[in-house]
Amino acid sequence: MSDTLTRSRGAELLAGEFSEFAADLAADVAKENPEFSADYIALLVTAWADWATLVADDPFAGYALTVDMDEVWHAALRRTRKNFAFMSRLTGGRFIHHEPADNYGTPDKVRETVAALQAAGYGAAPEVYSTVVAADCQAGNDCKPAAPCPGIDVGPIDLSD
């Protein structure tokens, strides 16, 4: 991999056309998580956009979010119109559905996601992903360091009805 990182389509959209949506997501995450710094939240929002780009490009790979990134996902879900517009633009008219589950992703799935992010040239902020690795090393089998991947149910949306 080159030392130069590429911005994902999702991150590009949030930095440009959907900058208001990105600001809304950051504000919502900050409200729910006052212990998160503004810099960390910005990393989470970008990491979520990178993840969404991976899922848009390969919806059945089962890419995983970290628990903190899931905060951004839930903030996006609460802003249905902007999220629909963002996802439609990112995916070319499809939508990435959230499929809640009791079984969280595993640290191995998060590591696979990190590898995919790096292979795509997006990088993976250590601040966002390092706690996942630490949780895997320090916690038992009940550790839940990654949120479920909602990318399984991605399909075209027929708006003709």
Q: Which phi-psi region, left, alpha or beta, contains residue 123 (left: φ > 0; alpha: ψ -120 to 50)?
A: left
Q: What pLDDT sits at residue 132?
A: 61
Q: What totals of helices (H) and strands (E) does the chain contain, helices first?
A: 7, 4
Torsion over CA: 51, 52, 58, 60 (sign) = positive
DSSP letter string, 122-140: ----HHHHHHHHHHHHHS-
pLDDT digits (tens, 9 = 90+) for 71-81: 999 999 999 99
pLDDT digits (tens, 9 = 90+) for 86-106: 999 999 988 787 765 544 467
Q: What pLDDT sits at residue 131?
A: 64
pLDDT digits (tens, 9 = 90+) for 104-152: 467 778 888 889 999 999 988 888 887 664 334 334 434 333 443 344 3
Query: 155: which DSSP letter?
Result: E
